[in-house]
Amino acid sequence: MPIEIKMPALSPTMEEGTLAKWLVKEGDTVKSGDLMAEIETDKATMEFEAVDEGVISKILIAEGTDNVKVGTVIATLTAEGEDADAPASAPKAEAPAPKADAKAEPEPKPASEAASAAPAPTPAKADGAKADGAKADGERVKASPLARRIAAEKGVELSALSGSGPNGRIVKADVEGAKAGAAPVAKTEAAAAPIAEAASVPAAAAKPAAIPDIPHEAAKLSNVRKVIARRLTESKQTVPHIYLTVDIRLDAMLKLRADLNAALEPRGVKLSVNDLLIKALAVSLMRVPKCNVMFTGDQLITFQRADISVAVSAPSGLITPIITHADTKAISAISTEMKDLAGRAREQKLKPEEYQGGTASLSNMGMFGIKQFEAVINPPQGMIMAVGAGEKRPYIIDDALGVATVMSATGSFDHRAIDGADGAELMQAFKALVEAPLAMVA
Active-site residue set:
415
- The span from the CA of 307 to the CA of 3, in Å, is 42
Residues 6+ apart with CB under 8 A from 348: 40, 44, 45, 46, 314, 315, 316
Calculated CA dihedral for residues 294, 364, 242, 353, nearest 10 degrees: -20
- The span from the CA of 108 to the CA of 292, in Å, is 37
Collapsing DSSP to helix, strand or coil, 119 comes out as: coil
- The span from the CA of 345 to the CA of 367, in Å, is 18
374 and 410 in contact (C-beta within 8 Å)? yes
CA 186 vs. chain centroid, Å, equals: 23
Residue among 411, 196, 186, 185 nearest 299 (CA): 186
- The span from the CA of 200 to the CA of 147, in Å, is 11
CB contact burial 57-89 (16+ within 10 A = b; e otherwise): bbbbbeeeeebbbbbbbbbbbbeeebeeeebee
| Structure letter (DSSP) for residue 37 | E
Residue among 244, 306, 297 nearest 417 (CA): 297
- The span from the CA of 65 to the CA of 76, in Å, is 17
Enumerate the H helices of 49-207 as residue ranges: 96-104, 145-154, 172-176, 188-192, 195-198, 203-206
Residue among 245, 246, 244, 247 nearest 406 (CA): 247
CA 427 vs. chain centroid, Å, equals: 26
